[in-house]
Amino acid sequence: MEFIRSSIINCDSKLIKQDFETSKIYYGSINKLGNFSKKTILNKLTNEKFRNLNIPLKLIDRFIDISKKVTPNKKLRTLKELRYLLNLLYEQKIKLFLGIDIQKHNQNFAGRAYLNQRFIVLNAEEIFDIDYLCAILTHELIHFLQNDRPLYFDIDDSVVPFVMEHYNHLDSFDLQQELEAFTYQNCPNFIENFNKNEFLLKEMFYASNQRKSTITWITLNKKLPNYSQSSKPLYQYDLKKVLDNLIISDLRPKKIHFPNRLMR
């Protein structure tokens, strides 16, 4: 079998430094949002034991302000994208919760999607600046787009070691979904682009048959293959350059130039 490398050049997220002053501002503000409880609709419908707080629409501006307070001047994502993602939750009737004491209940996640209940939970003990919050919300919303099935988009090979280390218990099908979510979570405006022109995004990122076979091998063997020197794809996409500050539906789809490829 001839393996093909990824066509994706990913945009790595940069977590803010959790110094004492930043932590004090963040956690103090989070605690003022409301009372965390173990008797919420999330506990009732999911059997989770950790304390949590639902963030209704009226609290969104306060939640955004908290992220703004701890966001450095140099950031990869925009306030506009964050507002789009949060507004989308309410348009799609997806409830947003903040959870605390998650690790005390033998769990470790920054965010989690509960598809059947239409919940997203964020671990409030993580410091969510704008970059990190956009990445985690994008990741969980990708799982809603997948709806328990992969999108069959190409994946970034560089995320494979991390996913295999932390999600090794998953089967091949579920691993592919996580690989997709971790690939595109750091892609600016991915969710808005998908919602406004799904067809064009699929044309851009849909994996070729040979690449699909490679991804299947990766998820079955839970590691990267030994690529040959001739395994480079015909083109590559730099996610930051392609979609940063760009909404695809604003463009005319007849001729769109991307790195090393002309789409017609």
pTM: 0.88
Structure confidence at residue 255 (pLDDT): 30
Name the residue ranges covered by the structural domains of the chain.
8-263
Reading phi first (left if > 0) and then psi (alpha if -120 to 50, else beta), residue 118 is in left
Structure confidence at residue 263 (pLDDT): 31
Yes or no: say if 83 and 64 are a contact pair by the CB < 8 Å rule.
yes
Pairing of strands 8-9, 237-238: parallel
CA distance 13 to 211: 25
Q: Nearest 10 degrees: CA dihedral of 137, 139, 145, 149?
A: -150
3 state SS for the chain: CCCCCCCEECCCCCCCCCCHHHHHHHHHHHHCCCCCECCCHHHHHHCCCCEEEECCHHHHHHHHHHHHHCCCCCCCCCHHHHHHHHHHHHHCCCEEEEEECCHHHCCCCCEEEECCCCEEEEECCCCCCHHHHHHHHHHHHHHHHHCCCCCCECCCHHHHHHHHHHCCCCCHHHHHHHHHHHHHCCCCCHHHHHHHCHHHHHHHHECCHHHHHHHHHHHHHCCCCCCCCCCCCCCCEEHHHHHCCCCHHHCCCCCEEECCEEEC
Structure confidence at residue 233 (pLDDT): 83
pLDDT tens over the chain, length 264 residues: 889 999 987 766 555 556 778 888 899 999 999 999 999 999 999 999 999 999 999 999 999 999 999 988 777 889 999 999 999 999 999 999 999 999 888 888 999 999 999 999 999 998 899 999 999 999 999 999 999 999 999 999 999 999 999 999 999 999 999 999 999 998 889 999 999 888 888 888 999 999 999 999 999 999 999 999 888 887 787 776 665 545 554 433 333 233 333 332
Structure confidence at residue 43 (pLDDT): 97
Yes or no: say if 77 and 131 are a contact pair by the CB < 8 Å rule.
yes
